[in-house]
Amino acid sequence: MVQETIFSKIIRREVPSDIVYQDELVTAFRDINPQAPTHILIVPNKLIPTANDVAAEDEAALGRLFTVAAKLAAQEGIAADGFRLLVNCNRYGGQEIYHLHMHLIGGRPLGPMLLKTMDDRR
């Protein structure tokens, strides 16, 4: 059974959030606990729980995550310096919300790729 998360409510605008972009395929909103000056989550409107659950029919929405990320990076003024796009999957990947999402993180040097260890998340 696929269980809805808070992200479905955000997409339907049933709970408050700082939505910066929405179209028929994806919604983007600011992370409630930002790890950098820009930290935006870009989410397919369709509930896909994890990266393990993607199907061919989702390719348009998943491709849209990248085009919206590029648009938002330009809008945020972080495109030239650079940024990180991140998708966590399941427990070892550190996934907390089981509605697939891409993190757009930037606005400062981000350091090495793996910032968090399992110890930090216990």
Angle at 110 (CA atoms; ends 5, 53), nearest 5 degrees: 30
Which residues between 23 and 82 bind ligand AMP (CB under 6 A)? Answer: 29, 31-33, 41
Residue among 25 and 36 whose Cβ is closer to ligand AMP:
36
Mark whether 101 is an active-site residue: yes
Binding status of residue 96 toward ligand AMP by CB under 6 A: yes
CB of 23 to ligand AMP, least distance (A): 19
> Given candidates 6, 60, 70, 115, which one binds ligand AMP under the rule CB under 6 A?
6
Tokens of 92: 């070892």
Nearer to ligand AMP, 6 or 74 (CB): 6
Helix (H) or strand (E) holding 39: strand 38-44
Cβ-based neighbours of 55, under 8 Å, separated by 6 or more: none
In terms of CB distance, is 49 or 64 closer to ligand AMP? 49
Q: What are phi and psi of 95, to 5 degrees?
A: -75, 130
Query: How is residue 2 written in tokens?
Result: 């696929």
CA 110 from chain center: how many Å? 17
Binds ligand AMP by CB under 6 A, chosen from 14, 97, 115, 116:
97
Task: Confirm or reject binding of residue 95 to ligand AMP (CB under 6 A).
Answer: yes
d(CA 75, CA 28): 13
- Residues recognised as catalytic: 101
**Residue ranges that bind ligand AMP, judged by CB under 6 A:** 6, 17, 29, 31-33, 41, 88, 94-97
